[in-house]
Amino acid sequence: MSYLCQLAWVVFFAAVSCVPQKAEQSVVLFDFENEAELDRFGWKCRSRFELSDHVQSSGKRSLRFDFYPAKRVGFSTGDVPRDWAPYDVFSFWVNNPQETTVVLNCRISRSLKSRQHDFISRQFEVSPGASRLSIDLGNVQKIKDIGKNELMVDGFYVYMENVDRTIILYFDEFRLERNDKN
């Protein structure tokens, strides 16, 4: 009888450990509070970057990125969780200290069963001051006619095109968010 009781406990704990865990409500991918985060990015030529305590959305620092004149300039990373299916929104904070609106692009690279790679691209007009920019992942999935379980991400690229003068932007809090009503 003792053997059956032990076996029952083993089966119970095995079953409990196999139950899928619900994703966190919000996951911060980058908050730029330490120098090690800079090593997780691929930096493009014609740019300068550093951690800054000048402006931030939370914490003590943000990423200051100088976009120098170029056809295309920005930064990218593949050092992110691959499965974005549990999340509804990819967002980040940006501060534009210029006196004019600038155009910023964000491209999320993802793998699909039907193709090698696909891109979710979004262009933002960033007004002077602080803004939270976001890409609604749920709408993208509906438009592309794919299921939630297929949102496997390879990374993202934030860039500007046809830059004719040096433009400085501050970035903070790249995150994934769920919009659960539960």
Q: What is the DSSP string of 24-40?
A: PSEEEEE---SGGGGGG
Please give the tally of structural domains in the chain: 1
- Kindly state whether residue 15 falls inside one of the protein's structural domains: no
Percent share of the chain, pLDDT over 70: 74
- Kindly state whether residue 163 falls inside one of the protein's structural domains: yes
Compute CA distances 38 → 32, 47, 133, 141, 149, whole Å: 8, 14, 21, 30, 30
Tokens representing 52 are 């800054």
**Tens-digit pLDDT profile for residues 126-142:** 999 999 999 988 765 54
Structural domain boundaries, residue 167: 26-177
- Kindly state whether residue 96 falls inside one of the protein's structural domains: yes
- Kindly state whether residue 17 falls inside one of the protein's structural domains: no
With 80 as the cut, is the pLDDT of residue 181 above it? no
Q: Note the pLDDT of residue 113.
A: 56
Domain at 81, CATH number: 2.60.120.260
**Tens-digit pLDDT profile for residues 30-40:** 999 999 888 88
- Sequence-distant (≥ 6) Cβ neighbours of residue 66 within 8 angstroms: 47, 48, 49, 166, 167, 168
**Tens-digit pLDDT profile for residues 38-62:** 888 887 677 888 899 888 787 889 9
- Kindly state whether residue 91 falls inside one of the protein's structural domains: yes
Per-residue pLDDT band for 13 (boundaries 50, 70, 90) equals very low
- In 131-168, which positions are buried (b, 16+ CB within 10 angstroms) versus exposed (e)? bebbbebeebbeeeebeeeebebebbbbbbeebeeebb
